[in-house]
Structure 1
């Protein structure tokens, strides 16, 4: 079974692309391919002119830390670390001064509506709050590319809209955003809509 069929495509710098499709259509796999987390069976995955699989594992990890932010389908916070410590993890993959810092992390917590949660542990947060922490973490290093897999799942309508508007704000500042969602009501926020069906990518009409 092919999770994502052979394809050739390009996402331009500064686009906001929304990807929809049924469960199991291959949306998460496609994001993992784009971010260099999953090796393709053939061809190349190029981000900002760099062939991701021409890099060593260590080089690819540094490239991701510098240039790509991920919001995974599950928050995946480290339970023994505080919210602030979880937020600062992406900076640990870069030399001192290159990644985000405490000030940036606290600003992001404010932007996702969790200004008083820095010292809490993940178990003290709801599932939706943990997802918002994951969104803030993805933005810590000011990535040029943001890959978001169902970032608004488990969020109430008001918070969902706030998160997408945050992505729009980051996009207008120059970040390329690729977001997977089941909620078609969010599609108008994007500049392009792709539909994934049985591993095939289609441009929405």
Structure 2
């Protein structure tokens, strides 16, 4: 519920700043750097003493965005923390432990521009765990997920900035427990600084 309220508030606050894409050339590409936050949680099924809870974790990386009229190809390289927090029943109450799964991620997104300033995106995300096998790490080294989201472009003083909102749904069981399955679930909110090519002087 808190995640939904945060996303709704973020959209309402930023919507007056949204306009046509600043990289509105019908054909061309540029690089960008991004930083943001992930609302991350593990979906657990089977037999486990862990009760999954959501955690707020950072993400950062780079992207390349290539536009061909209304179609966009956008590969990225990210460092992201997935996992979440787990609660366990104990005498006198519950205990909470943090399980941070550190990943190097490669999302490859295909997008469509229905109107200037807005891109609908989807694609696979390949992830490699940097701390698999550790006490607080995932049980599997690789993860494969599906990404759906949107890309907004700002204008005026924020003309080099964009906003990414996306959901990442993991398909690989990353559980360290034999009797349970763990799947990564993430909602990401990121700000992008676009490195647009300099305009050539006429």
TM-score class, shorter-chain normalisation, is: under 0.3
Larger relative strand fraction? 2
Larger relative helix fraction? 1
Specify which structure has the bigger relative contact order, considering alpha-carbon pairs within 8 angstroms and separated by 6 or more residues.
Answer: 1
